[in-house]
Amino acid sequence: MIQIAIDGPSGAGKSSLARRLAQELGYLYVDTGAMYRAIGLYMLRAGVEPTDPAAVLPRLGEVHLELKHLGGVQHVFLNGEDVSEEIRREEVSMAASSVSAHQGVRDFLTETQRSIARQNNVLMDGRDIGTVILPDAQIKIFLTASAEERARRRTRELQQKGQPADYEEVLADIRRRDHNDSHRAAAPLRQAEDAVLVDTSNDDFEAAYQRLYRLIQGRL
Ligand code: C5P
């Protein structure tokens, strides 16, 4: 099986790029962030404080997650309910970032993620795919862009969806999540030694896609 790992901070364009690359290559696209988001959503709904591991970990037994690929698009089911839309809310982003700092939450998802990669050619995106989940992945990419550029893209995306978005607030959120993700003890966000660094600050989607596509084709 071929494994391609794409890691990087939030808003670098990982998921839209990875989705299109996977489609082009005929691989399964696995968005691991969606799994952390679904757990974050569960805890929010249950009134559990996402930052408190003593509160979160005992509740994991109540969480049943399934990933289904419908028409090539990944859908996440939380206890049978399709929550793919709801997990994109900003409130859920922060809860996902909080729950993902707990080692017990990471352990809960590790085997699921590895087993998908054993059974399919995958393009998996996340924070620790190249470092922890799939250390033997044939291709590892660390995709990044400046915090300001990521905030601009995210603000535009939210506004296009008709959601109110303030650039300064989005930027502050991105910085907070970057800090959480790279300073936590459990699987902090970092570039794997054998990963290729791709900075898309000055690329539009199409240019970034072409760069990644060529990079992957050159290594397969
Ligand atoms: O990628 P996305 O922004 O959807 O991920 C949501 C949150 O889940 C991130 O802020 C990050 O804290 C966490 N995450 C993680 N490890 C992954 C994927 C996501 O810790 N492999």
ipTM (interface pTM)? 0.99
pLDDT digits 0-9 by tens, 155-192: 998 899 898 899 999 999 999 989 988 999 999 999 99
Q: How far is CA 98 from the centre of its chain?
A: 14
What's the token pair of residue 22?
């996977």
User: Of all protein residues, whose CA lies closest to atom 14 belonging to ligand 1?
Assistant: 33
| 3-state SS assignment for residue 74 | strand
**Within the chain, what is the greatest distance between any pair of CA atoms?**
48
Distance CA 27, CA 89 (A): 27
What's the token pair of residue 78?
């939380």
Ligand 1 center from residue 35 Cα (angstroms): 8
User: Of all protein residues, whose CA lies closest to atom 4 belonging to ligand 1?
Assistant: 33
CB 58 within 8 Å of CB 102: no
| 3-state SS assignment for residue 166 | coil
Ligand 1, pocket residues at CB < 6 Å? 10, 32-33, 36-37, 93, 96-97, 100, 126-128, 177, 181
- Does the pTM surpass 0.90? The reply is yes
Contacts of 147 (CB under 8 A, 6+ apart): 9, 171, 174, 175, 178
Ligand 1 center from residue 178 Cα (angstroms): 10
What's the token pair of residue 197?
């660094």
Query: For a substitution probing ligand 1, which of 10, 30, 36 has the most ligand atoms within 8 Å of its CB?
Result: 36
Q: Residue 202 — pLDDT band, cuts 50, 70, 90? A: very high
Q: How far is CA 194 from the centre of its chain?
A: 20
Ligand 1 atom with minimal separation from the 113 CA: 21
Residue 158's pLDDT is 87
